[in-house]
Structure 1
């Protein structure tokens, strides 16, 4: 899974996307704060590989990207749009391969610009990144090689508050950063950061009108934050492995960034700090029951702008949910199984 899989739709209802065998499933709230619908298959009966990238535009539409088997030893990417969680998603639509044909080249990432156009990113066989973008009036443009060398799996795509799409990638020497100069343009490689980055730990978030922030774990185990044009800041030791979940939210009248991760203890760890003020410091606070090793966390805000956290374990299919209480601080309700 790449991207946020807990989303708030344009009708205010929360939905969750999950992998199940060779399919993608969706569950959604039937009304405010539940109850939830039973899992439904997304995109028809197309057989998929167990990989999924999720992106969402300001219109609330979810864009899903996965790999499907085509010929023996070969695969191709497919895309689906889900306009509303309670409606059927569009059927999976083949969108090709960054190298025309071949096996899977890595986990895709997807971001949606201010015009509602999906941009799909995926490593290519040359060690760089390729991109495919939707056209303004429908259909897809050509595959474009964004260059780069020795790009590692686990791309982080994000749309800034400007509505333009940005991309971060880990390489052996650190991080690469691409940005669109104008809406609809091909993202251009802007900056390379020299840093000891663990691959597979990137998560990007729009944090101001001018900036996006990428979070990553360095080789010493510290969670770091970087905004292009500046120096990376060390926040605190990572609570667990893999990328953190991240969301901006209002906490007692302050614009804060909330992070969450499955901790080594098996519980969910939360940390919050004033957005783009890493020097203020942050610390982990654990919550909920012990979770399976493969459990992942996602964060969102509901229609009342209240923080919601969800955990999902692929091995058990167990979905747990909690919300912030209506009181000062980051007090959470009891975790509930959905």
Structure 2
């Protein structure tokens, strides 16, 4: 790595080490923004072959940190990741990080931005002061918060989508990006509205982006539109109620009247496809009375029961699960703590088998899951910790039609589904990483089938299918020829055909629709929305 660069150029723009300012020759790549060079190797290791990466550091770091990053860059190049030049050191002073990161983004014009957790987890509790103890360097959180703000401003200025992801420091990059993420990418981000038109929703730096079919089952799409809303942290949860209305959930970080930062869960509703969304409302925070504790809240998981009650679940400060319920008349219950087992940042909510609701959580200290459920809407919550599911982190997804889960087995990375009375059934597909999307009720040669979509080798989208309710019949996976920078989505259109959606490496939505008369499962060529 080159030596320490200039503090900043004459125009106030930070200069790249040993080479001055970077050229604006490239766009659409990845910018990793970290406090010091020692924070960059794990984020660099998450990048797939073919990615083009620039690294921005707030401080030059120690010789050992720079040497470690040099080693990580060399390893990444061998894997096919292009790291353009030496890191750009902005040498930021307190209070000026956001402006200098924004200048870097204007020059580098990224599609994706990676940084660390804006609200690092506590390591212990100071019992005398009754405050959480954060052992991570304070600059890490400061740089992450500045990066989110800078990316938001840059997207609004440029009009080009920017996708930010924050990662937990110390996470194992070998598990993949979904396992290391602080804020959850949506498992289900394309849904069919009341009028039969499909809509896709993805979080960006400046807010939620929406694409909408112009005609149900047609090939034309409108978007992306940036939906009005608050300044959200990265991540999004998408859920539909029994009426087909779409509900969006996220985390908002804002300053209160006292000037202190506060994090809460927020929600809005989309009643008609392509129309303006409703106002965003706060759902609160189970640790909302303590600002320091509340900042660590996990990302929400959401589901409706058969009585129309909306259930919101989050991982709380103590690594338990907290839940709150909204009745059909709009009234909210208080937060309830579901005691029993410490959990990690991975919750999946789905309808219960007998009309209630349930939440599955990956446990914090073991490769296992715990399940809290209400068999009917009026029952109390019950903990079931007897499941034998052993998931790879970042791979849980719901199977709502059968009230269970899909996941990748921790031992082999194979895709599995839990079948009642049978146990785990392997669906194959050990390559790739992350969760599996699915849609049931798709006709394939006269059979009602479940179509599956997942990330495969180097982020390429792979598709398979099995007869509805019969995963044991086996799945044949095939590559559909496009890579996605988010987990792929699949839904049935207004004519019942399966539609695949992904976000290409150029940041544009790509779609392929099922060929209904094909001999087996086949899709049209990809089109760009």
Compute the TM-score of the two structures, normalised by the length of structure 1. 0.90
SS class of match (1:60): coil
Match of 2:328 among 136, 155, 171: 136
- Residues 2, 108 of structure 1: 8 Å contact kept: no
**2:121 paired residue number:** none
**1:37 paired residue number:** 222
| Deviation readout 1:131-161 (Å, 9 max, x if unpaired) | 1211221132111112242312221112257
Shift of 1:106: 1.8
Shift of 1:38: 2.3
**1:330 paired residue number:** 521
**1:194 paired residue number:** 388
CA distance in 2: counterparts of 1:40 and 1:230, whole angstroms: 45
Match of 2:200 among 7, 16, 40: 16
SS class of match (1:288): strand
Task: Please give the residue correspondences for 1:1-338 in structure 2 after superposition, counting only pairs within 5 Å.
Answer: 1-32=185-216, 33-42=218-227, 44-71=228-255, 72-100=260-288, 101=290, 102-160=294-352, 162-171=354-363, 172-183=366-377, 185=379, 187-207=381-401, 211-219=402-410, 220-227=412-419, 230-248=422-440, 249-289=442-482, 291-292=483-484, 294-313=485-504, 316-327=506-517, 328-338=519-529
| Deviation readout 1:5-52 (Å, 9 max, x if unpaired) | 10000100000101121311212112131422222333x341111111
**2:16 paired residue number:** none
CA distance in 2: counterparts of 1:168 and 1:176, whole angstroms: 6
CA distance in 2: counterparts of 1:297 and 1:260, whole angstroms: 6
Shift of 1:271: 1.5
CA separation of 1:127 and 1:167: change in aligned 2, threshold 3 A: same
| Deviation readout 1:310-329 (Å, 9 max, x if unpaired) | 0025x743110011112141
Shift of 1:191: 4.4
CA separation of 1:318 and 1:185: change in aligned 2, threshold 3 A: farther
Shift of 1:229: 5.1
Segment of structure 1 superposing worse, 125-134 or 272-281? 272-281
Instruction: Structure 2 unaligned segments of length 5 or more: list them.
Output: 1-184
Shift of 1:61: 0.6
SS class of match (1:168): strand
CA separation of 1:34 and 1:58: change in aligned 2, threshold 3 A: farther
CA separation of 1:48 and 1:305: change in aligned 2, threshold 3 A: same
CA separation of 1:24 and 1:186: change in aligned 2, threshold 3 A: farther
Shift of 1:228: 5.0
SS class of match (1:99): coil
Shift of 1:73: 4.6
CA distance in 1: counterparts of 2:190 and 2:452, whole angstroms: 14
Compute the TM-score of the two structures, normalised by the length of structure 2. 0.59
CA separation of 1:179 and 1:227: change in aligned 2, threshold 3 A: farther
CA distance in 2: counterparts of 1:266 and 1:47, whole angstroms: 29
Segment of structure 1 superposing worse, 14-23 or 257-266? 257-266
Give the number of aligned pairs: 331
- Residues 447, 467 of structure 2: 8 Å contact kept: yes
**Normalized per residue, which structure has more helix?**
2
- Residues 65, 108 of structure 1: 8 Å contact kept: yes
**2:171 paired residue number:** none
CA separation of 1:283 and 1:34: change in aligned 2, threshold 3 A: closer
